[in-house]
Amino acid sequence: MDRKELIRKSKENQKKIAWSLAGGLLFCVLMGLGWRAYQQAEAHKQALKAAVLQLKDEQTQYHRSQGLMTSESLHDQETPLGLVSVLTDQAGQALPDLERLQTDRIKSLAKEKDVDLVTFTYQSQETSLANVKDVKLLEKHYRKTKTSYELLNDESPSLAQLYLKKDGTRFTLDDFLANKDNFVTAVSEKLSASGWTESDIKASVEQIRKESATLPIALTAHSILLPLGSKSTSVEMAFSEIYESIQADLLAGEARVAYDAYVAEKAAREAQEAYEAALRARGPNPVATGKVVALTFDDGPDPNTTRQLQKILRQNNVRATFFILGQKVAGNEALLCELRDEGHQLANHSWSHPDLTKLTPEQVHAEVANTQQAILNATGTLPTILRPPYGASNARVAQAAGLPIVNWTVDTLDWQSRNPVAILNQVKAQVHSGAVILMHDIHQTSVDAVQSVIDYLKAEGYSFVTVNELYGY
pLDDT tens digits, residue range 438-453?
999 999 999 999 999 9
d(CA 237, CA 183): 10
Beta-strand relationship, 117-126 and 81-87: parallel
Using CB atoms within 10 A of its CB, is residue 397 exposed (0-12), middle (13-18) or buried (19+)? buried
Across 241-369, where does the E strand assignment appear? 292-300, 321-324, 345-348
Q: Are 208 and 172 in contact (CB under 8 A)?
A: no
Higher pLDDT, 195 or 46: 195
Q: What is the distance, to the nearest Å, from the Cα of residue 409 to the centroid of all Cα atoms in its chain? A: 31
Instruction: Read off the pLDDT of residues 344-390 as tens digits, 9 standing for 90 and up.
Output: 999 999 999 999 999 999 999 999 999 999 999 999 999 999 999 99
Closest CA to 183 of 154, 217, 146: 217
User: How wide is the angle at C-alpha 206 spanned by C-alphas 205 and 209, nearest 5°?
Assistant: 90
Q: Are 300 and 328 in contact (CB under 8 A)?
A: yes
Catalytic residue among 440, 441, 443, 448, which?
A: 440
- Residue 134: predicted pLDDT: 94
The DSSP H or E segment spanning 309 is: helix 305-315
d(CA 51, CA 47): 6
Q: Are 300 and 442 in contact (CB under 8 A)?
A: yes
Average pLDDT over every residue of 321-331: 98
Of the candidate ranges 48-57, 179-188, 192-201, the one whose mean pLDDT is the lowest: 48-57
- Residue 145: predicted pLDDT: 87
Please give the torsion angle defined by the CA atoms of residues 260, 264, 269 and 272, in that order, rounded to the nearest 10 degrees: 170
d(CA 298, CA 323): 5
Q: What is the CATH number of domain 284-471?
A: 3.20.20.370
Determine how many CB atoms are found less than 10 A away from the CB of residue 133.
21
Catalytic residue among 134, 298, 302, 448, which?
A: 298
- What one-character DSSP code corresponds to residue 155? S
- Residue 341 a catalytic site member: no
Average pLDDT over every residue of 231-257: 91
Which residue type occupies 151? L
Instruction: Read off the pLDDT of residues 247-295 as tens digits, 9 standing for 90 and up.
Output: 999 999 999 999 999 988 887 777 677 666 666 666 667 688 889 999 9
Residues of each domain in the chain carrying CATH 3.30.565? 48-171
Local confidence band at 27 (pLDDT 50, 70, 90 cut-offs): low
d(CA 224, CA 251): 12
Q: Where are the alpha helices (DSSP H) in 330-419?
A: 333-341, 361-379, 395-401, 414-417
Instruction: Read off the pLDDT of residues 421-439 as tens digits, 9 standing for 90 and up.
Output: 999 999 999 999 999 999 9
Q: Are 293 and 434 in contact (CB under 8 A)?
A: yes
pTM of the model: 0.56
- Residue 298 a catalytic site member: yes
Give the count of alpha carbons within 13 A of 404, CB side only: 18
Right CATH for 48-171 from 1.10.3470, 3.30.720, 3.30.565, 2.60.40: 3.30.565
Q: Three-state DSSP class for 251? A: strand
Q: Where are the alpha helices (DSSP H) in 76-197?
A: 98-108, 173-176, 180-193
The residues that bridge with 323 in the sheet, in sequence order, are: 298, 347
d(CA 251, CA 334): 48
Q: What is the mean pLDDT of the chain?
A: 88
pLDDT beyond 60 at 1: no
d(CA 130, CA 125): 12
Instruction: Read off the pLDDT of residues 144-161 as tens digits, 9 standing for 90 and up.
Output: 888 888 888 766 778 889
- For 468, phi then psi, to 5°, come to -60, -40
d(CA 54, CA 83): 11
Q: Are 379 and 418 in contact (CB under 8 A)?
A: no
Average pLDDT over every residue of 336-348: 98
Q: Of the ranges 161-170, 202-211, 301-310, which is most confident? A: 301-310
Kindly calculate the radius of gyration of the chain based on its CA atoms and give it in whole angstroms: 40
d(CA 121, CA 160): 11
**Is the C-alpha dihedral spanning 415, 416, 418, 424 positive or negative?**
negative
Q: Are 253 and 131 in contact (CB under 8 A)?
A: no
d(CA 80, CA 149): 12
Cis peptide before 404 (omega within 30 of 0): no
Residues of each domain in the chain carrying CATH 3.20.20.370? 284-471
pLDDT beyond 80 at 342: yes
